[in-house]
Amino acid sequence: MKKFFKEYFLYIISGILLTAGIFYSVITETLIPLFNQGKTEEFIYNLIGIPVILTGTGLFVYGGIIFVIDTFKLFGQEKMITNVENIKNKNADKYIKSESRKENFKMLLSAWKRGGKFLGIGGLLIFAGGILINLKEII
C-alpha cells in the first residue's frame, strides 16, 4: 500500500485538488447564487444534478482509460500479432485473411466491452444530470 501511494502521490494530490476546485466552483458560482435568489426548486435540481454529471464524467473518463488499456493489451497478444501478419501478408490466402480479420474484430469487441460499459453508463448519467439541472426550463 505504501508503494502505491509513493508511486501515485502526485496523481492522487492532483485529483484531490481538481475535485476540490470543481466543487468550489459549483458551490460559489451555481448553488449560492441560486439560493440567494430564492430559486429553491432550481437549487435542489442543481444540488442533485451536478453530482450526477460529475459522476458520469468520472465514469466516462475511467471507461475511456480502460478502453485504451485493453486495446493496447490486445495488440500485445500472440494471436492478434499472428492475425495482423496474416492480413499484411500479400501471399496469404483470401480465406486466411478473411478469418484473421473476423477473429481480430471479435477480439476487439471483446476487449472493448468492459470500457464500453463505463462509457455508456457515464454518458447516460451526464445526459440525465443535464436534464435534471435544466428541468425547470424544460417543463
- Averaged pLDDT score across all residues of the chain: 90
* H or E segment and range at residue 109: helix 94-133
Query: What is the model's pTM?
Result: 0.79
Would you state the pLDDT for residue 35?
93
Q: What is the mean pLDDT of residues 99-120?
A: 92
Predicted pLDDT of residue 1: 62
Q: Which residue has the higher pLDDT, 94 or 124?
A: 124
Determine whether 83 is exposed, middle or buried from the number of CB atoms within 10 Å of its CB (0-12, 13-18, 19+).
buried
What is the model's pLDDT at position 132?
93
Q: How many CB atoms lie within 10 A of CB 65?
A: 12
pLDDT of the residue at 4: 67
pLDDT in tens, 93-109: 888 888 889 998 999 99
In this prediction, residue 83 has a pLDDT band, given cuts at 50, 70 and 90, of confident
User: What integer is the mean pLDDT of 29-42?
Assistant: 92
